[in-house]
Chains A and B, each alone.
Chain A
């Protein structure tokens, strides 16, 4: 998950800076920054390769423990030839997509209901407060006993892991709508429904995305763990299977794929966020009040 995280943090803070005169660095500069960030990563792999090869020569430790990046690539290629990689990636992608989307939609829906109806909030609030802090992974064995080892318990676990943070952020978003915005909408003749769809929801949307970003990492953990326990496919399954046969390089292949898959999802989420929150990014034109135009 390494590639996703630092880039995320960076673009998040960029989107939030609301300085009126703040402009983004020009495109050239930004790609230069991207190249700069590549250098440490490349160095990391070069050192790894060097250590691995040196170990092959000098036998500091069992060479099986740390295969070289090139060896991992070759093994990955071999696995891909057998069709195992495609099959695992598809299985994992389906699970995380269905689970994550279900969890997010359920959380937003629940947040809407809880913020619209006092009764719903007084009943559901304490229950979620009680269940929320339980680490979701602790529930997996129970889910497996209840629902077997099919797809359902895995997706349920992913959805539940996604649900709790998104719900918390959604509720927080609805609570922190600036009151003057609601007042101004009211004095413009907005009805309760308008207040909700045109003020509360757009105002809470950035928060909902923070929740989704937070839970993406958690739901990936749930995906992998649920595939390690009682699955016959998926990236997590490659890892346990490789452990059973002590095929270290296969483990590394799976780990790299998980990292790539996470980055892809984080990237898609970012794109969606940029699309929906256009108003948060600083515009190119910085307006100055020059009096009558």
Chain B
């Protein structure tokens, strides 16, 4: 399982949102996409999910171009996007059941992933009865129940408070270490990226500004000197050349888009 993003560009009505974005992700890699609000992170994720098509360039999964959404690429949405008319269990069963698995298997699969996120006790509740963090966990279980090769997550913990967020990060890592699917995780929190990722892609104004590789063993401590250094480095990169008054949507034609690969 490999993902190749090659020279991808996307504009909306003449406004360039993504420009010449290229990177590769290997199997089992945990990649964080980091950047300011409006820099095109969601757009990039939606392109990989197949919800929208690139204007330039190509996105290849195992050498095959992405033409539309597919069950091999599971998506976890920032607003969880659970089906409000289904119970928690029915939500998690959705993927396996539309794939046409036998009923017993569908249920078993759903319970397996509900247990993985620790919410099997809430199987018969409706999404509106759950807290934000629980909804997000159901969203993750629902995506995982389809056993996708790639898990795309768009700021899944963005709306959570800091404590819940940290707990969710630990839990996500635990699940990922167990399943070892490829994960692309969008965030605007540097700390989150440094804690989770094998590879951090920093997007800035629609371009890939830097790519960092981390091989720090997990679980990582936020106080680790090398991680602190990396955080400071990324912070500097994101803060520098911030033209005030500019919406952050325009691409700096002048900026050198050279990437830094910092192997640890």
- Chain A residues within 8 Å of B, Cβ to Cβ: 18, 20, 178, 180-181, 183-191, 194, 198-199, 202-203, 205, 277-280, 282-283, 285-289, 291-293
B70 touches A287 (CB 8 A): no
Q: A194-B98, A291-B167, A293-B118 are in contact. Are A187 and B49 (CB under 8 A)?
A: yes
Residues of B within 8 Å of A194, CB to CB, are 98
Query: B54-96 vs A: 1/0 string, CB under 8 Å?
Result: 0000000000000011110111010101011111000000110
Query: B91-127 vs A: 1/0 string, CB under 8 Å?
Result: 0001100110000000000000000001101100110
Give complex CA distance A204, B223 in Å: 51
B130 touches A189 (CB 8 A): no
- Is B164 part of the binding interface, using a Cβ–Cβ cutoff of 8 Å? yes
A292 touches B118 (CB 8 A): yes
Give complex CA distance A215, B239 in Å: 58
Q: A285-B129, A292-B118 are in contact. Are A189 and B86 (CB under 8 A)?
A: no
A191 touches B98 (CB 8 A): yes
In-complex Cβ contact of B83 among A191, A202, A282, A292 (8 A): A202
Residues of B within 8 Å of A285, CB to CB, are 125, 129
B122 touches A287 (CB 8 A): yes
B83 touches A289 (CB 8 A): no
B74: nearest chain-A partner, CB-CB:
A187
Give complex CA distance A289, B49 in Å: 29
- Chain B residues within 8 Å of A, Cβ to Cβ: 49-51, 68-71, 73-75, 77, 79, 81, 83-87, 94-95, 98-99, 118-119, 121-122, 125-126, 128-134, 142-143, 146, 164, 167
In-complex Cβ contact of B81 among A184, A279, A292 (8 A): A184
Give complex CA distance A83, B124 in Å: 50
In addition to A187-B75, A291-B167, 17 A-B residue pairs with Cβ atoms within 8 Å of each other are A20-B129, A184-B142, A185-B94, A186-B68, A186-B69, A189-B98, A189-B146, A190-B98, A198-B83, A198-B94, A202-B83, A278-B126, A279-B128, A283-B125, A287-B129, A288-B131, A289-B131
Residues of A within 8 Å of B51, CB to CB, are 183, 186-187
A289 touches B77 (CB 8 A): no
In-complex Cβ contact of A289 among B75, B121, B133, B143 (8 A): B133
Give complex CA distance A165, B1 in Å: 52
In-complex Cβ contact of B125 among A18, A180, A287, A289 (8 A): A287
Give complex CA distance A124, B104 in Å: 44
A183 touches B75 (CB 8 A): yes
In-complex Cβ contact of B79 among A20, A180, A186, A287 (8 A): A180
B134 touches A189 (CB 8 A): no
B77 touches A184 (CB 8 A): yes
Q: A188-B146, A291-B167 are in contact. Are A279 and B85 (CB under 8 A)?
A: yes
A189 touches B99 (CB 8 A): yes
Q: From residue A133, how far is it (CB to closest CB) to chain B in Å? A: 33
